[in-house]
Structure 1
Amino acid sequence: MSVPATVVASVSDVLEPVFQHSATAAAIVLLTLCVRLALHPLARAAVRGERTRAELAPRMGELQRKYRGDPERLRREMQQLYTKEGASPAAGCAPMLLQLPVFFMVYHLFTTDDGLLGHTLLGAPLGGRWTDALAHGGLLGGHGLVYLALFALTGAVATWTCLRNRRNAARTPAASGQPPMMRFLPLLSFGTLVTVAVVPLAAALYVVTSTTWTAVERAALGAGLPPRPEAGQPPRRGARSTR
């Protein structure tokens, strides 16, 4: 048994008295929460980076207008501005990129490890997919209801995330100048529904848990909102949020 499988099995054994046959599914959820908690400092840094970039947007626009005929000079000036303000264009990608190995580990584990494929969540095999559930009892069968619950939670989180992102974008001064394609980005949150439908149930549990955590975390950190000045003071050009 591989090391990841051993970890999942060990946690499952601890949870078995409470969750019984669904202990392995509970272990996946618990381990996912542990991974996201470990990545929380990166999420906080990403939000700070987003706010810094929002504050720098007017100055970036000035540089683009000033050096639009000199792409190389524009690139250098923008890099200098980012360096001076301690911002990074890729800061918001770090948590997502670090989660990918974990997701693929879960995907590989529950498509190749015979010792875990037989475990279930309320009767639905963790190694199975939605199409398997539809073939075993239909949409409202025992297995199908497990997926309907996941779809309902995923859809609720995606809808809330989409609406929140649109509200936040509307509060951003530069929102009116965004390219039309950028206005459709909030709809990408619904892509999680497709993922849940096509991956094994074990991987779907990871995706749903991680997506829900992301929505709650970003709301708690105030991600996407323009930085607010300190009480009694006007906003300062180039000031960075310390939250």
Structure 2
Amino acid sequence: MDPFLFPPLTLLLDLATRAMIALTAALDPLVGSTAAAVAVVAVTLIVRLLLVPVGVSQARAEQTRARLAPRLRVLRERWRNDPERLQRETMQLYRDENVSPAAGCLPLLAQAPVVGLLYAVFLHPTVGGQANALLAHDLLGVPLGRSLVAALTSGTAEATILVVFGSLVAVIVFAVELTRRWLRPPVDPAAPAWTTTITGALPFSTAVVALFVPLAAALYLAVTTVWTLVQRVLLRRRYPLPRA
């Protein structure tokens, strides 16, 4: 069920879409036919800028988890046969350090409505009972409402579509790979090997998603991925992880 069928969310989606269309119209004299794509990039950057405090909170939480990880491993080893005692000792450790085990999670959840609304604008072909005018615009001749998979399955995948989507996917993969190399999280020796494999591969799923969603959403994903890389690199310098 589409949550944006709920009247209050329908209204929010309609307002957000109208705002995007108005921004596109304002940019048209400056950038011409790429106005809608530029509007998508601009709004994505504005939203990511507003969510910088969330990134700071996550960086602090990552630093805290890394700092406490050795002591948590000791507790797990000592009380592995007594789950209740392990739980008490773990919570006591967090209390002693004056931190919450959920640190970084609540801000992440708080950003979900904002990101979800923006993403919904790019995914809905109709808004308020009418065609989503934003998706009727194009980037280099590729409609913002067209997805690569839809083009392939319908036999309408022209060279331009392949180049545009291929470029965005390449940007996403490149940014994710740099993130993996530069910001590799500490590995918990006690964790199963498969968890490390999944953790390393999961970020690349963004590139797969970009193949299935409309071009506007794929553009949003590419910009977000690059922003996240730059932001995390800067915050890692501000909140470095303890050396092993």
What is the TM-score normalised by the length of structure 2?
Answer: 0.79
Residue 195 in structure 1 maps to residue 204 in structure 2: no
Distance 1:182 1:78, change over 3 A: same
Distance 1:196 1:31, change over 3 A: same
In structure 1, the residue matched to 2:149 is: 131
Instruction: Work out the CA distance in 2 between the residues paired with 1:46 and 1:104.
Output: 19
Cα distance, 1:26 vs. partner?
1.2
- The structure 1 residue matched to 2:196, chosen from 169, 176, 183, is 183
Cα distance, 1:40 vs. partner?
0.8
Residue 143 in structure 1 maps to residue 158 in structure 2: no
- The structure 1 residue matched to 2:47, chosen from 23, 35, 38, is 35
Quick one: which amino acid aligns to residue 61 of structure 2? Answer: G
In structure 2, the residue matched to 1:8 is: 20
Native 8 Å contact 1:46 1:92 kept in 2:
yes
Greater mean deviation of Cα atoms: 4-13 or 100-109: 100-109
Native 8 Å contact 1:157 1:212 kept in 2:
yes
Cα distance, 1:147 vs. partner?
0.6
Residue 205 in structure 1 maps to residue 219 in structure 2: yes
In structure 1, the residue matched to 2:242 is: 227
Report the secondary structure of 1:222's partner residue: helix
Cα distance, 1:37 vs. partner?
1.0
How large is the RMSD of aligned CA atoms in angstroms? 2.6
Runs of 4+ in 1 over 4 A off after TM superposition: 174-177
Identical columns (%): 38
Cα distance, 1:149 vs. partner?
1.2
Cα distance, 1:9 vs. partner?
1.6
Quick one: which amino acid aligns to residue 161 of structure 1? Answer: T
Unaligned stretches of 5+ residues in structure 1? 229-234, 236-243
Quick one: which amino acid aligns to residue 180 of structure 1? Answer: A
Instruction: Work out the CA distance in 2 between the residues paired with 1:94 and 1:23.
Output: 35
Instruction: Work out the CA distance in 1 between the residues paired with 2:211 and 2:108.
Output: 20
Q: How does 1:65-76 map to 2 (within 5 A)?
A: 65-76=77-88
Unaligned stretches of 5+ residues in structure 2? 1-10
Quick one: which amino acid aligns to residue 187 of structure 1? Answer: A
Aligned length: 222
Cα distance, 1:180 vs. partner?
0.3
Cα distance, 1:72 vs. partner?
2.2
Distance 1:63 1:108, change over 3 A: same
Instruction: Work out the CA distance in 2 between the residues paired with 1:130 and 1:57.
Output: 43
Native 8 Å contact 2:135 2:216 kept in 1:
no
State the Cα deviation string for residues 91-121 of structure 1 (Å, max 9, x = none).
3445553444344434433422312221111
